[in-house]
């Protein structure tokens, strides 16, 4: 008699509550933050003075950012918004002008800033220069393979990178405007 009355099942109704509690805890603590950033490769450190290379002036695209966050591109004050187009023009040199880069693989970007330059300005400039290269590679890829650079196989990407290599030299900052 007694056994018949016994209910052998455990009440699983509260299981949902427990699970909910845990769920809410994880929901609150979760930060799905995608970690993204501008990838940079630094040159290795060496104690001795770097060799002085004499470069043809036409192949150097100098960008100076001063402590007031103003830009001087090849001796002319420039707006950050125009930097990308100017860099692209310089590297590609479609009209074969004598004061722009001979060939894309000969172009060198030289970036220099003051110690007082704001980091956000620096990153913006760096981003624009990188974007110029990305766009040029994209164009090249479209012309050559009719495909977006992103979807090219690795060896094709290398080939394009060899045609349009990103050469960005960063000089030691000048001591202006340090707080």
Partner 1 sequence: MSKFQKKRGKSKPAISTASLPDIIFMLLFFFMVVTVMRDSTLKVEVNVPQATELTKLEKKSLVNYLYIGKPTDQYAETYGTSPRLQLGDKISAIGDIPLFLEQHRSGVPEKQRTGISSSLRVDGEVTMGFVSDIKTELRKANQLKINYSAKPRVE
Binding site for partner 1 (CB under 8 A): 12-13, 15-16, 19-20, 22-23, 26-27, 29-45, 113-120, 122-124, 126-127, 130-131, 134, 172-173, 175, 177-179
Task: Give yes or no for a contact between 84 and 131, defined as CB atoms under 8 angstroms apart.
Answer: yes
Shortest Å distance, C-beta 61 to partner 1? 17
| Residue keyed to tokens 């995608």 | 34
Who's near 65: CB < 8 A, 6+ residues apart? 71, 72, 111, 112, 113, 114, 117, 121, 122, 125
Shortest Å distance, C-beta 120 to partner 1? 3
Task: Give yes or no for a contact between 157 and 95, defined as CB atoms under 8 angstroms apart.
Answer: no
Q: Which is nearer to partner 1, 2 or 18 (CB)?
A: 18
Shortest Å distance, C-beta 24 to partner 1? 9
Shortest Å distance, C-beta 56 to partner 1? 28
Q: CA 48, CA 61: separation in Å to the nearest integer?
A: 25
Instruction: Report how far Cα 19 is from the mean position of its chain's Cα atoms.
Output: 42
Q: Which is nearer to partner 1, 68 or 102 (CB)?
A: 68
Q: Which is nearer to partner 1, 6 or 26 (CB)?
A: 26
Shortest Å distance, C-beta 160 to partner 1? 16
Q: For residue 103, what are its two tokens?
A: 């060939």
Q: Which is nearer to partner 1, 13 or 94 (CB)?
A: 13
Q: CA 137, CA 65: separation in Å to the nearest integer?
A: 26
Q: Which is nearer to partner 1, 45 or 146 (CB)?
A: 45
Q: At residue 153, what are phi and psi to the nearest 5 degrees? A: -65, 165
Task: Give yes or no for a contact between 159 and 100, defined as CB atoms under 8 angstroms apart.
Answer: no
Grouping H, G, I as helix, E, B as strand and the rest as coil, residue 75 is coil
Q: Which is nearer to partner 1, 59 or 116 (CB)?
A: 116
């Amino acid at each position: 008699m007694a056994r018949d009355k016994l209910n052998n099942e455990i009440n699983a109704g509260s299981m949902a509550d427990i699970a909910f509690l845990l769920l809410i805890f994880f929901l609150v603590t979760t930060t799905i933050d995608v970690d993204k950033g501008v990838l940079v490769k630094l040159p290795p450190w060496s104690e001795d003075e770097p060799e002085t290379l004499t470069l043809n002036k036409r192949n150097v695209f100098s960008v100076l950012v001063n402590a007031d966050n103003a830009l001087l591109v090849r001796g002319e004050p420039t707006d950050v918004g125009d930097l990308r187009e100017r860099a692209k023009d310089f590297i590609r040199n479609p009209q074969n002008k004598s004061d722009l880069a001979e060939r894309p693989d000969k172009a060198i970007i030289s970036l220099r800033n003051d110690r007082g330059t704001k980091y956000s300005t620096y990153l913006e400039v760096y981003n624009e220069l990188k974007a110029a290269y990305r766009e040029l590679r994209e164009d090249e890829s479209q012309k050559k393979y009719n495909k977006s650079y992103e979807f090219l196989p690795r060896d094709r990407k290398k080939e394009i990178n060899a045609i349009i290599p990103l050469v960005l030299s960063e000089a030691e900052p000048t001591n202006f405007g340090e707080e």
